Structure 1
Amino acid sequence: MSSDKKVTCLVCPRGCIMTVSSDLKVSGNFCARGVPYALQEVKEPKRNLTYVVQVEGREAPLPVRTDSMIAKHLIPDVVKLLRTVTIKPPVAFNAIIIANVFDTGVNIISSAEIK
């Protein structure tokens, strides 16, 4: 049984389908930018997260996001945490809503300003 993994590159619009072998050799990429992406995707996939949190006294929620990529396996836990958050206005654009979420070094920041 082969332990090769197929990875669709998201670095550029081309969307190369790359193969990462068990000895971490990458093939199928058309540019050099795909190699680090494929290796990261096999070792520890990461994603940016966007979500919304409740705003006290308002129906419309506040959009938030991570300020850098976070390990994919942590996303359900971060979403569960964000569902419990209620923010009091005012909130500045890019304000830190949760610092260093789950000791990852990644912050949850606001994607909008509310007054």
Structure 2
Amino acid sequence: MSSDKKVTCLVCPRGCIMTVTSDLKVSGNFCARGIPYALQEVKEPKRNLTYVVKVEGHEVPLPVRTEQMIAKHLIPAVVNELRKIVVKAPIEFNSIIVENILDSGVNIISSAEVK
């Protein structure tokens, strides 16, 4: 049974289909930027997360996002935490809404401002 993994690169628009072998050799990439992406995707996949949180006294929620990529396996737990949050205006663009969410080392920041 082969333990090779297929990875579609998201670094550039080309979308190379790469293969990562069990000894972490990467093939199928057209540029060097795909290699670190493929290795990360096999070892510890990470994603950016966008979501919305409630704003006290407002009907429109506040869009938020991770300040940097977060481990993919943490996303369901992070979403559960964000569902509980209600923030108060005013909020500046790029303000930290949750620092170090779930001890991940990643902050949740605002993607808009609320007056």
User: TM-score, structure 2 length as denominator?
Assistant: 0.99
SS of alignment partner, residue 6 of structure 1: strand
Matches within 5 A, 1:28-67: 28-67=28-67
User: In the aligned structure 1, how far is the partner of 2:92 from the partner of 2:13?
Assistant: 33
Partner of 2:88: 88
Counterpart-to-counterpart distance in 2, 1:68 and 1:31 = 23
Amino acid at match of 1:69: M
- Please report how far the alpha carbon of residue 104 of structure 1 lies from its aligned counterpart in structure 2 after TM superposition: 1.4
**Cα displacement string for residues 44-70 of structure 1 (whole angstroms, at most 9, x for unaligned residues):** 000000000000011100000000000
Give the whole-Å Cα distance in 1 for the aligned partners of 2:3 and 2:94: 42
Q: Tell which deviates more after alignment, 98-107 or 16-25.
A: 98-107
Query: How many residues matched?
Result: 115
Number of the residue aligned with 1:25: 25
- Between the aligned partners of 1:103 and 1:58, the Cα distance in structure 2 is 29
Provide the identity percentage.
79
- Deviation of 1:41 after TM superposition, in Å, equals 0.1
What is the rounded CA distance, in whole Å, between the counterparts of 2:102 and 2:87 in structure 1? 19
5+ residue gaps in structure 2?
Answer: none
Q: Which amino acid aligns with 2:24?
A: L
| Distance (Å, rounded) in 1 between the aligned partners of 2:102 and 2:78 | 8
Q: In structure 2, what is the Cα distance between the partners aligned to 1:77 and 1:59?
A: 25
Question: Can you list the C-alpha shifts for 1:11-45, whole angstroms capped at 9, x where unaligned?
Answer: 00000000000000000000000000000000000
Counterpart for residue 112 of structure 1: 112
Instruction: Please give the TM-score of this superposition, normalised by the length of structure 1.
Output: 0.99
